[in-house]
């Protein structure tokens, strides 16, 4: 609990003003929420799942625009940068980009089985990063929880290890929303035996030098920063 409060405090300190503006617009009672802007561009579409080498680890990066490489040049998104980082650490790995910009947890749940069935084999690890767009739209946290539970249940049924990259509620969503949304990731990680990376944008959100002009999505340097912190977690998860 103390760790969750620390993360929430850090997010507040970042002062992610652009994110708050988007959230306020999405939650307005005066008009229906506009489609998330990340749906308009898919700079790094999901990669075709070519078969990895026989001795290489297969990692599925299953998430939203933070995984998809929104508005980045080809090869600059999370999946290719993480793959190169693992290789530099001596780990043969193929990281498949299954990020779809604008996906909610419900959309991810709907496409999960199709995505897994389209892989050349069962992945050694799945990175799971959904829920941010649920928050942007002000969706009920209980819906997000149910969808994430369904995704984790499917992964468990197939014997796939999971690393969850969490999200926390923006402060302007209010304490009641945060109290329902923020525990989703740590609680489900414990219940399903998943590894938790608590906050996907830790160290990036609020730092304009690491963000695209929208103030939400990481730029090239931001992705590198995320991967530098995430790679050791993935590396440990891939080891027997």
Catalytically annotated residues: 65, 214, 217
Are 206 and 9 in contact, with CB atoms under 8 Å apart?
A: no
E strand or H helix that includes residue 17:
helix 17-26
Per the CB < 8 A criterion, the answer to whether 71 and 212 are in contact is: yes
Beta bridge partners of 211: 218
Spatial distance between the Cα atoms of 57 and 93, rounded to a whole number of angstroms: 4
CA atoms within 13 A on the CB side of 77: 28
Task: Round to whole Å and give the CA distance between 25 and 136.
Answer: 9
Task: In whole angstroms, give the CA distance from residue 211 to residue 209.
Answer: 6
Tell me the angle at which helices 184-192 and 141-157 cross, rounded to the nearest 10 degrees: 20
How far, in Å, are 86, 110, 126, 168, 206 from residue 106 at the CA level? 30, 6, 17, 18, 28
Which of 145, 148, 121 has its CA nearest to residue 52? 121
């Amino acid at each position: 609990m103390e760790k969750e409060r620390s993360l929430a405090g850090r997010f507040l300190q970042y002062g992610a003003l652009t994110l708050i503006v988007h959230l306020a617009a999405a939650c307005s009672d005066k008009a229906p929420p506009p489609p998330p802007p990340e749906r308009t561009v898919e700079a790094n579409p999901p990669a075709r799942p070519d078969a990895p080498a026989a001795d290489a680890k297969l990692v599925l990066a299953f998430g939203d625009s933070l995984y998809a490489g929104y508005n980045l040049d080809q090869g600059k998104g999370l999946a290719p940068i993480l793959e190169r980082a693992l290789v530099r650490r001596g780990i043969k790995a193929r990281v498949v980009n299954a990020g779809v910009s604008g996906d909610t947890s419900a959309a991810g749940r709907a496409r999960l089985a199709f995505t897994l069935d389209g892989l050349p084999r069962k992945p050694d690890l799945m990175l799971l990063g959904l829920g941010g767009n649920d928050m942007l739209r002000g969706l009920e946290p209980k819906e997000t929880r149910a969808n994430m539970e369904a995704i984790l249940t499917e992964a468990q049924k197939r014997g796939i290890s999971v690393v969850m990259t969490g999200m926390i509620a923006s402060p302007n969503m209010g304490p009641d929303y945060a109290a329902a949304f923020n525990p989703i990731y740590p609680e489900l990680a414990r219940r399903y035996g998943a590894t938790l990376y608590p906050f996907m944008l830790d160290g990036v959100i609020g730092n304009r030098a690491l963000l695209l002009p929208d103030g939400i999505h990481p730029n090239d340097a931001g992705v590198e920063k995320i991967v530098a912190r995430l790679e050791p977690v993935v590396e440990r998860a891939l080891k027997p």
